[in-house]
Amino acid sequence: MKQPKKHILKTTNLSIGYTSKKQVSVIATDLSINLEAGNLVCLLGKNGIGKSTLLRTLTKVQPALNGTVLIDQKNLDNLTNIELSKIMSLVLTERLPDSSLTVFELVALGRQPFTNWIGYLTNKDMEIIQMAFKKTNTSHLMNSKCYELSDGQLQKILIARALTQDTPIIVLDEPTAHLDLHHTVNTFSLLKNLAAEFNKTIIVSTHEANLALQLADELWLMSSSKFISGKTDILIENNELELLFDSNLISFNKALKQFSISNSF
Amino acid sequence: MINPTKSYKKTFIILLITLVFVFIVNLSLGSVYIPLKQVFLALTNGELEKDSWGSIILSVRLPKAITAIIVGSGLSISGLLMQTLFRNPLAGPFVLGISSGASLGVAILILGGSFLGANITSYAFTNFGLAIAASLGAFLVLSAVMIAAQKVKNTMSILIIGLMFGSLTSAVISILAYFGSASQLQQYMFWSFGSLGNLSWKEITVLCVAFLIGISFVIFIIKPLNTLLLGENYAKSLGVNVKKTRNLVLIATSLLTGVITAFSGPIAFIGLAVPHLTKLLFSTSNHKTLIPAVAISGAIIMLICDSIAQLPTSEYTLPINAITSLFGAPIIIWLLVRKRKVYY
């Protein structure tokens, strides 16, 4: 029996940007998001348009300028770090600091919000860790050191770590930035699978627009003029994808559901 | 599933046996050689061949060996904490300006006497006088660094602020030294060489209490320290209160290094080198393993350095600071060249 879907993420009148002593620089206003659980969402937009700022705001790394973010029906402002860590896990673009952590230790760190004061792993923790390795197909890497991994392997391990945190929402900031086509597709199909099969809500910022069009249940489009969120098919139907890029350079082919280089180019 | 985290039981047992062995050897060596068997007897209140041996061991060598263990462990743990917090292999226990603060305190007491024109000198140069001056200096500079640390968000900035305070205080010390007399300079130099001896049992008790309080802080930050290995943003997303952890690390380090420096002078190298040595030996970043490993290794190395510094069977004692660097640095260089790269 399928549970009725609920809004896992909802924003009202959200404005994002930075405040410094002298001025407020607004990056985007009036963002409205109504996201149901179990969806794969791709956040698309050009470099510097504010994708990271949006993700940073939704993950409470920086405060919103205005408006509210409701996560799992709770106001983001009222959630403590530890409460949020049980709802949302992250895969960041930043490189991990050098360490001689093993892959197992890294993935097991995902259990930190649930373990006791010294970080003891119970049988239940071990089961969840094992599941994460299995889902990401990385069990053979368990005893390697993290610095021995290739970029593709490391990305999978970081996703495994996020899975170990066992949160309904996973946010990934450009997870395929350093990957070749094979590993990019591989990563996206893994994410798609996690959303479909395990009812995870997965929010990915990416530059792989064509892949996103094929795989994402929902798209968030960011451009300098506006922000739109909605089901992929509906957005395609309403010709909303045109506004993502400069049409002199890149145009959207509605029939193929793909971007391509403009003929006038 | 079997927990694939490596168990280091064997290595720990070897380290502990080494510690006990080095401790006993340290007690037996000195200007007078006392056979190992007699050392055992002295420690267990047995009958000794010579009565003087008993008092040498119990009132001179035992306090010194215990001081060595606390100094070695405390500085090494502090160094490890700083290296993890700042994710910088060059960080050590003194990056927060503790040693420069302590040096400033002592420099003002010894070298600044002529400026102040006071006759405090004869009383002030007792151990406790120096310790108080060092503590005050360390506390003042550290407070300045901590106040600055609350203002900045970036952990790296704290590192640089600490180093800047270090430069400031050494500038002041240079000026004091320039105007100081030869005998004052010599006295200051002797303090800065570091020394493990000359501590009374009362002073050692103070040292022990501070050490235990510091360690108990450390035990509670092992878990967040491991999370910090992923960087501050990941740590935050895992529910770690980064600022609170940072403050606990700073408090534990300043307590450990502050008190140690106050009583034994600014002992160089140990805090920087022992964590590296231990990481090479254990090749792990897990603080659950590293903290006890670093504590034991630090104690062992400090005891060995002290044994060498006494120049066995001679009347002379070399400055402990010279020995720690003279023997430690080549070992680290050799290990690094052999292993090529260290990961933190």
pLDDT tens string B105-128: 888 888 876 665 555 555 555 667
Q: Is the CB of A97 less than 8 angstroms away from the CB of B4?
A: no
User: Given this model, what pLDDT does residue B123 score?
Assistant: 52
Q: Residue B205 and residue B296: Cα distance in Å, rounded? A: 20
Q: Is the CB of B220 less than 8 angstroms away from the CB of A117?
A: yes
User: Given this model, what pLDDT does residue B344 score?
Assistant: 47
Q: Is the CB of B5 less than 8 angstroms away from the CB of A105?
A: yes
Considering only CB atoms, B231 lies closest to which of A97, A105, A113, namely A97
Q: In the β-sheet with A74-75, what is the strand arrangement from edge to edge?
A: A24-36, A7-19, A66-71, A74-75
Judge whether residue A183 has pLDDT over 60.
Answer: yes
Q: Residue A242 and residue A136: Cα distance in Å, rounded? A: 35
Give the three-class secondary structure for A11: strand
Sign of CA dihedral B326, B327, B333, B336: negative
Residues A66 and A3 in one domain: yes
The candidate with the shortest Cα–Cα distance to B76, out of B324, B284, B262, B341, is B324
Residue B202, in any domain of the structure: yes
A83-105 pLDDT tens trace: 999 999 999 998 898 888 999 99
Closest approach of chain B CAs to the CA of A208, in angstroms? 24
Region of residue A129 (left: phi > 0; alpha: psi -120 to 50; beta: else): alpha
User: Given this model, what pLDDT does residue B69 score?
Assistant: 97
Residues 6+ apart with CB under 8 A from B174: none
Q: pTM score, two decimals? A: 0.89
Q: Is the CB of B1 less than 8 angstroms away from the CB of A130?
A: yes
C-alpha angle A156/A159/A160, rounded to 5°?
A: 85
Residues A252 and A222 in one domain: yes
- Residue B77 pairs in a beta bridge with none
Residues A28 and A154 in one domain: no
Neighbouring C-beta atoms of residue A208, cutoff 10 Å: 22
Residue A189, in any domain of the structure: no
Domain span at residue B90 reads 9-339
Q: Is the CB of B344 less than 8 angstroms away from the CB of A101?
A: no
A201-231 pLDDT tens trace: 999 999 999 999 999 999 999 998 889 999 9
Q: How far is C-alpha B340 from the geometric centre of its chain's CA atoms? A: 27
Tokens describing residue B121: 């000198």
Indicate the residue among A166, A188, A218 that finishes a domain: A166
Indicate the residue among A146, A166, A186 that finishes a domain: A166
Domain span at residue A150 reads 94-166
User: Given this model, what pLDDT does residue B118 score?
Assistant: 52
Closest approach of chain A CAs to the CA of B121, in angstroms? 49
Q: Is the CB of A143 less than 8 angstroms away from the CB of B4?
A: yes
Q: How many domains does one find in chain B?
A: 1
Q: Is the CB of A92 less than 8 angstroms away from the CB of B343?
A: no
What's the residue count for chain B? 344
Residues A40 and A117 in one domain: no
* Interface residue A85 vs chain B (CB under 8 A): yes
The candidate with the shortest Cα–Cα distance to B295, out of B252, B338, B339, is B252
Pairs of residues, one from chain A and one from chain B, whose beta carbons lie less than 8 Å apart: 98
From residue B254, alpha-carbon distances to B102, B133, B216, B292, B321 in Å are 11, 16, 14, 19, 20
- CATH code at B311? 1.10.3470.10
Q: Is the CB of A118 less than 8 angstroms away from the CB of B222?
A: yes
User: Given this model, what pLDDT does residue B20 score?
Assistant: 96
Residue B101, in any domain of the structure: yes
Tokens describing residue B196: 């493990």
Block residue for tokens 């030996």: B281
User: Given this model, what pLDDT does residue A1 score?
Assistant: 45
Q: In this structure, are residues A221 and A235 in contact, taking their beta carbons and an 8 Å threshold?
A: yes
Tokens describing residue B14: 């070897």
Considering only CB atoms, A126 lies closest to which of B3, B231, B241, namely B3
Residues A147 and A24 in one domain: no
φ, ψ at A34 (rounded to 5°): -130, 95
Judge whether residue B237 has pLDDT over 50.
Answer: yes
- Residue A15 pairs in a beta bridge with A66
Residue A190, in any domain of the structure: no
Q: B343 pLDDT band (50/70/90 cuts)?
A: low
Residues A70 and A121 in one domain: no
Indicate the residue among A113, A143, A166 that finishes a domain: A166
Judge whether residue A7 has pLDDT over 60.
Answer: yes
Q: Residue B157 and residue B164: Cα distance in Å, rounded? A: 10
Q: Is the CB of A100 less than 8 angstroms away from the CB of B241?
A: no
Residue A181, in any domain of the structure: no
B170-196 burial: b if 16+ Cβ within 10 Å, else e: eeebeebbeebeeebeebbeebbbbbb
* Interface residue A198 vs chain B (CB under 8 A): no
B22-74 pLDDT tens trace: 999 999 988 888 888 888 888 888 788 888 888 888 888 999 999 999 999 99
First to last CA, chain B: 27
Q: Residue B237 and residue A59: Cα distance in Å, rounded? A: 8
Residue B329, in any domain of the structure: yes
B250-284 pLDDT tens trace: 889 888 998 899 889 889 889 989 998 898 888 89
Q: Which of B19-23, B157-161, B284-288 has the least mean pLDDT?
A: B157-161
Q: In this structure, are residues B108 and B130 in contact, taking their beta carbons and an 8 Å threshold?
A: no
Q: Is the CB of B240 less than 8 angstroms away from the CB of A115?
A: no
User: Given this model, what pLDDT does residue B258 score?
Assistant: 87
* Interface residue B3 vs chain A (CB under 8 A): yes
Q: How many domains does one find in chain A?
A: 2
Closest approach of chain A CAs to the CA of B7, in angstroms? 13
Residues 165-184 of chain A with CB under 8 A from chain B are 165
With residue B282 as reference, give the H or E element that holds it: helix B270-282
ipTM of the modeled complex: 0.93
Burial class (CB in 10 A: 0-12, 13-18, 19+), A70: middle
Residue B217, in any domain of the structure: yes
Over chain A, what is the mean pLDDT?
A: 92
Secondary structure in 3-state letters for A81-111: HHHHHCCEEEECCCCCCCCCCEHHHHHHHHH
From residue A158, alpha-carbon distances to A194, A203, B212 in Å are 14, 15, 37
Residue A160, in any domain of the structure: yes
Judge whether residue A236 has pLDDT over 50.
Answer: yes
Residue B3, in any domain of the structure: no
Residues A78 and A102 in one domain: no
Select the residue from B90, B221, B234 to test the A interface by mutation, using most A Cβ atoms within 10 A: B234
User: Given this model, what pLDDT does residue B191 score?
Assistant: 86
Residue A155, in any domain of the structure: yes
C-alpha angle B66/B72/B76, rounded to 5°?
A: 150
- CATH code at A236? 3.40.50.300
